[in-house]
Amino acid sequence: MSFQNPVFIPGPTNIPENLRKACDMPTIDHRSPLFGQILHPARAGVQKVLKSTSAEVFIFPSTGTGGWETALTNTLSAGDTVLAARNGMFSQRWIDMCQRHGLNVNVVETPWGQGVPADRYAEILAADTGHQIKAVLATHNETATGVRSNIAAVRQALDDAGHPAMLFVDGVSSIGSMEFRFDDWGVDVAVTGSQKGFMLPAGLGIVGFSAKAMEATKSAKLPRTFFDVHDMAKGYANSAYPYTPAVGLLNGLNTACGMLLDEGLANVFARHHRIAEGVRAAVGAWGLDLCAASPDLYSDTVSAIRTPEGFNATSIVTHAAEVYGVAFGVGLGEVAGKVFRIGHLGSLTDVMMLSGIATAEMCMADLGLDITLGSGVAAAQDYYRANRAERQQDAA
């Protein structure tokens, strides 16, 4: 691998120089007033990125996985029923965590390449007249398959059924890169991490809790210590943590939120969509297909690209690393060896993406696939030239 080349994995993402500098700071006393000048603006910035005016933001020294555990352990009790779709590796891991915590998981088996089946959720919720289901889980952007799910439709299913279950959303590879509306979608717990849309090193698990979720914490019986939001809230009230915080990463998060908000969230989302569309144009020029089953499911942060039957897609990733010093993502779980993944999120531009497309093209040609050098690059160039970036007014 080469430190000089950008990475094209779905996270951790490329780190802008000013964010690296923000994380690289002298040691401070994390129990002094100075820490509050980092902590409180970072939480407020995350709330704005979530498009919420009321979410309680908690930031743990952890990752998105810790965020999943925070959501479950603070709001549920052993034996509670949750509804979840298994449509990729990361939805599967959250289901596994639920089961390990003694929760009863109603699993809706869904083909990999499809999104969360809101219509099936609607049927199950309508039939649950006794309201045994306490939480509904949805992976907004399934990183393993490059599939975006319709969270607004899941909220509509809950509302149409008049069901009181909480809505938990994994936004690890979407928040900060794709449209996410905590308040408008009626999300109760949103989960993300520092290493994707926020363009930072891994190390922070970031969650937003609604008032309804905070109320549920009062009766939840699952054990929690490190991830107890009440302990964290008490610390925040004193501009502190209940234990040692990751001060440098929090300073970086504060800076990252400022960067996203200065660019304008609408512009951030438009940039990601434009870059992703260029990648999709290249995939079409190569004569290949995406794992995502239809355009309405296409992710703007990661594309999982199917290779021909009998070809080991992992060899593209290995070859790129060994020969060209460039990182792509391998297929995971059910699509291991069947797809390779191009991450196009975080600190990325059209020009940077063209280098990744060109590298993927060279790798496939080197490995004997019927790929015409320059075909994907030209298709992406045509798209980028025709859809140059234009700044727009950020939507509320």
Amino acid at the residue 148: R
Q: What are phi and psi of 130, to 5 degrees?
A: -85, 0
Cβ within 8 Å of residue 312, ≥6 positions away: 337
Instruction: Name residue 343's beta-bridge partners.
Output: 302
Tell me: is residue 280 an annotated ligand-binding position: no
Contact criterion met (CB below 8 Å) for 118 and 154: yes
Contact criterion met (CB below 8 Å) for 273 and 179: no
* DSSP 8-state secondary structure symbol assigned to residue 30: T
3-state secondary structure of 136: strand
The Cα 28–Cα 250 span in angstroms is 12
Instruction: Name residue 86's beta-bridge partners.
Output: 109
The Cα 141–Cα 154 span in angstroms is 14
The Cα 193–Cα 204 span in angstroms is 6
Closest CA to 51 of 257, 331, 333: 257
3-state secondary structure of 192: strand
3-state secondary structure of 213: helix
The Cα 360–Cα 30 span in angstroms is 45
Binding residues for substrate: 341
Binding residues: 341
